[in-house]
């Protein structure tokens, strides 16, 4: 076990995540979430998130060390999300990581959050085939990436031009009177409904790009529900949930497989909170099987924002001989 012990810190959105890895071995993964504090606002409030990170940072780091049975002095490197994310939230993690790196006397690695969502899968499924295609779908991002090497070369192929996929789930859930965050509630409601009950629009379905658009779909659902309500009719929540979900996962899986075909890649990874969606997993598996593409989806705890993913990418950077960051690195929301 000559590989370095890497501590990872994630604070780009509403999860304070701390992870510890050695190579591809996960030793600790602790998360404190402020999601409940945002629930009544129907979305993440940056100021609330920053303050929650500040309060959660020290205890979450201490719990991670405890979980791994380690002390600060055992840590060989500190990795932190430098961006993209909420500026004030990132700042808390970056400041903490600098202090830990300086205090322990080890190198600091500022890492890209999206690449970290990709790297984390190696903790569960081993080395990532080179190249792979990755689709990251969460409340904050929807991206297609070509990944020749997760440590040194991650190429953006497309992303959402408006709402993120998870954001669309959350907004439609709100229209349907379901709690925040709405993704899991829509997933559950959809089980009782039909994905073909309502033909909702599929933005950018055939436009030849690898970009996504979900705001038209979100608006179409809202209009459809309003029309029902105005007519004094009951809203068939399960059917609307299922039909909306079908429209999202149809576009996501179609574009992901287009990317595989276009770049002749046989391995697809799906990550981010929306990767927990049961219909997305099922349709992605079906379409991957038909196309001869191998599908990798990390378990839910590694799909949502967490510290292990940051440690996993940090560990990859160390192994690849990438130079550490300066202690002056900024938090960069557009990193």
Angle between helices 237-262 and 215-230 (to 10 degrees): 160
> Which of Zn ion, ligand KG4, none binds 304 (CB below 5-8 Å, type-dependent)?
ligand KG4
Q: What is the total count of residues that contact Zn ion (CB under 5 A)?
A: 2
Number of other CB atoms surrounding residue 86 within 10 Å: 23
Q: Which of 5, 6, 7, 13 binds ligand KG4 (CB under 6 A)?
A: 13
Q: CB burial class (10 A; 0-12, 13-18, 19+) of residue 292?
A: exposed
235 annotated as ligand-binding: no
Task: Enter the tokens of residue 91.
Answer: 């700042």
Query: Token pair of 301, please?
Result: 């705890």
What CA–CA distances, in Å, run from 298 to 80, 117, 306?
20, 9, 12
Residues 124-143 that bind Zn ion (CB under 5 A): 138
Residue closer to ligand KG4, measured from CB, 166 or 314: 166
Among 122, 304, 315, 325, binds ligand KG4 (CB under 6 A): 304
Shortest separation between residue 117's beta carbon and Zn ion, angstroms = 6
* Residue 271 binds which of ligand KG4, Zn ion, none (CB < 5-8 A, kind-dependent): none
How buried is 125 (Cβ within 10 angstroms: 0-12 exposed, 13-18 middle, 19+ buried)?
Answer: middle
Q: How far apart are CA 313 and CA 27, in angstroms?
A: 14
Alpha-carbon dihedral sign for residues 323, 324, 328, 330: positive
Task: Return d(Cα 241, Cα 291) in angstroms, integer.
Answer: 28
Largest interatomic CA distance in the chain: 68
Residues 256-295 that bind ligand KG4 (CB under 6 A): 272-274, 276-277
258 lies in the binding site for Zn ion (CB under 5 A)? no
Task: Name the residue nearer to Zn ion (CB basis): 122 or 243.
Answer: 122
Asked if 317 contacts 4 with a C-beta cutoff of 8 angstroms, the reply is: no
246 touches, from Zn ion, ligand KG4, none (C-beta below 5 to 8 Å by class): none
User: Which of 252, 305, 310, 331 is in the footprint of Zn ion by CB under 5 A?
Assistant: 305
Report, in Å, the least distance between residue 312 CB and ligand KG4. 15
Identify whether the C-beta of residue 93 lies closer than 8 Å to the C-beta of residue 11: yes
Per CB under 6 A, the list member of 110, 131, 158, 166 interacting with ligand KG4 is 166
Task: Name the residues that contact ligand KG4, by CB under 6 A.
Answer: 13, 138-140, 166, 169-170, 181-184, 187, 272-274, 276-277, 304-305
Binding site residue list for Fe cation:
113, 117, 305
**Residues annotated as binding site?**
113, 117, 136-140, 170, 183, 187, 277, 305
Annotated binding site for substrate: 136-140, 170, 183, 187, 277
């Amino acid at each position: 076990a000559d590989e370095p012990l890497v501590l990872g810190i994630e604070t780009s959105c509403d999860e304070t995540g701390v992870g510890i890895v050695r190579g591809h071995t996960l030793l600790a993964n602790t998360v404190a979430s402020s999601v409940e504090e945002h629930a009544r606002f129907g979305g993440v409030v940056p100021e609330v998130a920053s303050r929650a990170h500040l309060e959660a940072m020290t205890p979450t780091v201490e719990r991670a060390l405890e979980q791994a049975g380690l002390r600060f002095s055992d840590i060989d490197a500190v990795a932190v999300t430098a961006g993209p994310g909420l500026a004030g939230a990132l700042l808390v993690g970056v400041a903490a990581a600098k202090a830990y790196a300086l205090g322990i006397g080890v190198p600091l690695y500022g890492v890209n959050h999206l690449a970290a969502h990709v790297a984390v899968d190696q903790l569960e499924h081993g080395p990532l085939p080179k190249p792979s295609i990755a689709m990251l779908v969460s409340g904050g991002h929807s991206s297609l990436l070509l990944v020749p090497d997760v440590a040194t070369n991650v190429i953006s192929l497309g992303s959402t031009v408006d709402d993120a996929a998870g954001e669309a789930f959350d907004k439609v859930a709100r229209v349907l009177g379901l709690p925040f965050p709405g993704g899991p509630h829509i997933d559950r409601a959809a089980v009782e409904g039909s994905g073909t009950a309502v033909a909702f629009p599929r933005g950018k379905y055939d436009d030849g790009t690898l970009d996504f658009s979900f705001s038209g779909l979100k608006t179409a659902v809202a209009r459809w529900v309003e029309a029902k309500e105005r007519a004094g009719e009951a809203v068939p929540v399960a059917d609307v949930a299922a039909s909306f979900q079908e429209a999202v996962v149809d576009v996501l899986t179609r574009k992901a497989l287009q990317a595989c075909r276009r770049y002749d890649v046989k391995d697809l990874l799906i990550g981010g909170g929306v990767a927990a969606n049961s219909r997305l997993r099922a349709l992605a598996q079906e379409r991957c099987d038909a196309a001869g593409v191998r599908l990798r989806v990390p378990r839910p705890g590694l799909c949502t924002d967490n510290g292990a993913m940051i440690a996993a990418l940090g560990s990859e950077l160390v192994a690849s001989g990438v130079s550490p960051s300066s202690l002056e690195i900024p938090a960069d929301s557009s990193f």
